[in-house]
Amino acid sequence: MSIDPGRGEADSVLRPRVLLVEDEAELAGMLAGLFREEGYAVDVAPDGHTGLHYGLSRSYDVAVLDRGLPAVEGLDLLARLRRSGVTTPVLVLSALGNPADRVAGLDAGAEDYLAKPFDIDELLARLRALRRRHLDAARTLPVGGARLDLDAREVVAGSSRTALSQRECDLLATLAARPRQVFGREDLLALAFPEAENPVVVDTYVHYLRRKLGRGVVETVRGRGYRIGAPG
């Protein structure tokens, strides 16, 4: 028996996802490589039509859009995503960098705008900041392909919502806040159940979460503890 069969798959499910819409193949390849090094799962769309298709059919943590694109122009693509209710934070990366261009980008629904040529460290830092602000604003945490809504205490997957108790929510939020980390039971006891003393409470609530959300929602890492998985 392998220690943790679903692990590789769950890791890729939990990695933050970025959509990169860029028609210059060399730049797209370079950025995709850097994003992967940063821990992102990357989808590259070489034209606006493909970008629109990905943006509407898949879920991303952040998107980077070029403006001058074949098929559908970048700001048009962005406006269409926003009209369809897609709230993914978007950074527009464009050779058009004067103030009027930036205003047009922000008015079309972009959260941020960076003119080419750009500094790669600045781009990566801006993407990190965008994701942070987005999570803070929404008060949600990704759980696999679903999201934990901390205010409603619900796990939202597409149109389905699963209500959690406060303790279930506290435990899931603790795990989901650091998706790569394996937490020992004592750590989870201290972080999620500060008023409790017996670490068995951790196992009990892991059991409740799995019963509501599917076995995979919390992974057991044998001999070490638990980490977040994916519901269903």
C-alpha span between 189 and 90 (Å, rounded): 37
Cβ closest to Ca ion, residue 117 vs residue 223: 117
Distance between CA atoms of residues 202 and 185, nearest Å:
6
Distance CA 207, CA 65 (A): 42
> Quick one: how far is CA 225 from the chain centroid?
24
| Minimum separation from the CB atom of position 71 to Ca ion (A) | 12
Q: Which is nearer to Ca ion, 21 or 143 (CB)?
A: 21
Nearest distance in Å: CB 68, Ca ion: 4
Nearest residue (CB) to Ca ion, 47 versus 149: 47
> Which lies closer to Ca ion via its Cβ, residue 112 or residue 168?
112
CB of 91 to Ca ion, least distance (A): 15
In the complex, residue closest to Ca ion by CB: 68
Residues that bind Ca ion (CB under 5 A): 23, 66, 68
- Tell whether the torsion through CA atoms of 87, 92, 96 and 98 is positive or negative: positive
Q: CB-wise, 67 or 131, nearer to Ca ion?
A: 67
Quote the least distance from Cβ 106 to Ca ion, whole Å. Answer: 19
- Minimum distance, C-beta of residue 125 to Ca ion, in the bound complex (Å): 23
> Contact 60/88 with Cβ under 8 angstroms?
yes
Identify whether the C-beta of residue 20 lies closer than 8 Å to the C-beta of residue 32: yes
Q: How far apart are CA 115 and CA 101, in angstroms?
A: 9
Q: How far is the CB of 209 from Ca ion (least distance, A)?
A: 45
User: Nearest to residue 164, comparing CAs of 143, 194, 134?
Assistant: 143
Pick between residue 11 and residue 76 the one whose CB is nearest to Ca ion. 76
- What is the b/e burial string over 150-170, where b = at least 16 CB atoms within 10 angstroms of the residue's CB? beebbbebeeeebebeebbbb
